[in-house]
Amino acid sequence: MRRHAAGLAASAAVLLALSACSTPSSDDGQGTGGSTPRGSITVFAAASLKEVFTRLGDAYTSAHPNAEITFSFGPSSGLAGQIVDGAPADVFASASAKTMDTVIRAGLAATSTTFARNSMAIATPTDPTVRVTSLADLAIPGVKVAVCAVDVPCGTAADKLFANNRLTVTPVTREVDVKAVLSKVQLGEVDAGIVYVTDVRAAGDAVVGIDIPASQNVTTDYPIAVLMDGAENSVADSFVAYVLATDNLQVLLDAGFLAP
Amino acid sequence: MTSRRGRSATAPPWPVLVPAALAVLFLALPLLGLLIRAPWSRFWEVLTSPTSLSALRLSLLTGAASTVVAVILGVPLAWLLARATFRGRRFVRALVTVPLVLPPVVGGIALLLAFGRRGIVGQPLEALTGITLPFTTPGVVVAQVFVAMPFLVITVEGALRGLDGKLEEAAITLGASRIEVFRRVTLPLVGPSLVAGAVLTFARALGEFGATITFAGNLEGVTQTLPLAVYTGLEGDPAEAVVLSLVLLAVSVLVLVGLRDRWLRTGASA
């Protein structure tokens, strides 16, 4: 998925190059130790990061016109599998420490840093067939619940959520990623879906979110790492630093994430 | 010397040979990769795991059910298309071919909007009978019939068109009713094509992924057929995905062997 910002960045790069002819360059890149990040990177990121990373990526490429970012969003476990199988990714942002560990254990990343945390919420259709108002309602027979597949982080979190609250929930479907759960809710095919707080926020008016009290809720860590493919790429380091920058924490908090 | 010259006269020129060899290599390598990377030491253990077995059972069950439904509904439709003249016949034939070219995931969304809980048929169906199709095993069959039935209709229709009408005419002049002629003359004549169509339908149903996961969801033992188990397996245990892929590959090979007289020798399907 190549974003429009890339085109903008390219035109901005031309403008900058032109202005550089008249004024000696004194750009910020020199001041911070490295040269201006230049090049293109591929970022593999959890499906739940789609909206917030698209926004951060746009802001980043506007500030760094010589950099270009291509995103691939999907289930963290699937992305980790692709990276281990040699997919050409430079940066990996995962929705669980476990999937990040798969990549680190394979020797494809040195370390990772947690940049945010997420918690779970119940998404319900705007015109529900069966009204769900609390976590306990999901255990009522006949209430149709969608959750993520067992090995996908949002599925692991959902199972933990049910276990912690001693609920026996029998989902009607285990979808391959969190966005697929959300779409089943939006279409009204299920009465409720277990998704991240951030998904409910991102979906806007399309679903009705029900908060889960912090005492009942579970959280999941979001680690980010530069991969071996990106080790030589200044954009990869610079983008990861950008995501971790305290100035950008607000973007994550606005999207519903929790501070790391 | 002469034999050499004779061979080179019939040998294809290299501008044909090179791309053709590349094409063969391109088609063969992925299958080879599957065979080489397969976890053979764990093959039996993975194949007999509860997840694999339930996917296998469900796939065989739904594939067989879909084939039966496709035969019951598809043979009469093939007969209508081949023999009857009615308004809109060309439209109906075009409609039959749509699922062949439609991406299955689009078929799945279309099925949801028709037979889903909020669908134009699904909503009244639930209100009247309490029956819902998404997330159920019958829902898997619905998705499979939608994508696979055209294979049966087209194969049988082609066979009916190629029939010599004289035998049927003779049966009619001997006093047989039209139903009798269809049952006792036409059906036996198109028998081999019917079997071929049914095998193709079964194979397509068995491989169905996009429409199934979109319309019927993904739950072990209920709607998680082999292809869905392969895809879900990739998230957790890739070895499971590879083993189940081999099962599906074996089925494809069996289908090819079964239909070899129709496809591999003449290259023409009835």
Task: Please indicate if any CB of chain A lies within 8 Å of the CB of B54.
Answer: no
Task: Please indicate if any CB of chain A lies within 8 Å of the CB of B225.
Answer: no
**Which residues, in sequence order, are CB contacts of B237 under 8 Å at separation 6+?**
A151, B46
Task: Please state the rounded mean pLDDT for residues A113-139.
Answer: 93
Q: Which tokens is B28 given? A: 């063969």
Separation in Å, CA B190 to CA A66, A250, B150, B163, B266: 66, 70, 17, 8, 18
Most confident of A176-180, A238-242, B190-194, B249-253: A238-242
Residues of chain A contacting residue B231, judged by C-beta atoms under 8 Å apart:
176
Contact between residue A116 and residue A219 where contact means Cβ atoms under 8 Å apart:
no
The sign of the torsion formed by the CA atoms of A236, A240, A241, A247 equals: positive
Contacts 24+ apart (CB under 8 A), B74-78: B74/B149, B74/B152, B74/B153, B74/B156, B74/B197, B74/B201, B75/B152, B75/B156, B75/B187, B75/B194, B77/B153, B78/B152, B78/B153, B78/B154, B78/B155, B78/B156, B78/B157, B78/B160
Give residue for tokens 């099925």: B111
What count of other Cβ atoms lies within 10 Å of the Cβ of residue B160?
22
Q: What is the pLDDT of residue B7?
A: 53
Contact between residue A155 and residue A181 where contact means Cβ atoms under 8 Å apart:
no
Complex prediction ipTM:
0.74
For A6-59, what is each residue's pLDDT tens digit?
444 444 444 444 444 433 333 333 334 345 788 899 999 998 899 999 999 999
Which one is predicted more confidently, B60 or B237? Answer: B60
Task: Please state the rounded mean pLDDT for residues B214-235.
Answer: 91
- Across chain A, what does the average pLDDT equal? 85
The sign of the torsion formed by the CA atoms of A12, A14, A15, A16 equals: positive
Task: Please indicate if any CB of chain A lies within 8 Å of the CB of B135.
Answer: yes
Task: Please state the rounded mean pLDDT for residues A179-204.
Answer: 92
Going by pLDDT thresholds of 50, 70 and 90, the confidence category of residue B265 is: low
The sign of the torsion formed by the CA atoms of A197, A199, A203, A206 equals: negative
Q: Smallest Cβ distance to A149: which of B116, B134, B235?
A: B235
Which one is predicted more confidently, B142 or B178? Answer: B142
Give, as one character, the DSSP assignment of residue A206. Answer: G
Nearest-Cα distance to chain B for A172, in Å, is 6
Q: Which tokens is B267 given? A: 């290259």
Going by pLDDT thresholds of 50, 70 and 90, the confidence category of residue B264 is: low
Q: What is the pLDDT of residue A9?
A: 47
**Alpha carbons A113 and A100: distance in angstroms, whole number:** 10
Of A115, A106, A92, whose CA–CA distance to A42 is shortest? A92
Q: What is the pLDDT of residue A22?
A: 38
Q: Smallest Cβ distance to B236: which of A150, A184, A189?
A: A150
- Spell out which chain A residues touch chain B, with contact meaning CB-CB distance below 8 angstroms: 75, 77-78, 81, 129, 144, 146, 149-152, 171-176, 184, 187-190
**Which residues, in sequence order, are CB contacts of A99 under 8 Å at separation 6+?**
A76, A77, A79, A80, A153
pTM for the model: 0.78
Per DSSP, what are the bridge partners of residue A40?
Answer: A68
Q: Smallest Cβ distance to A81: which of B213, B232, B238?
A: B238
Q: What is the pLDDT of residue A26?
A: 37
Q: Smallest Cβ distance to A151: which of B218, B223, B235?
A: B235
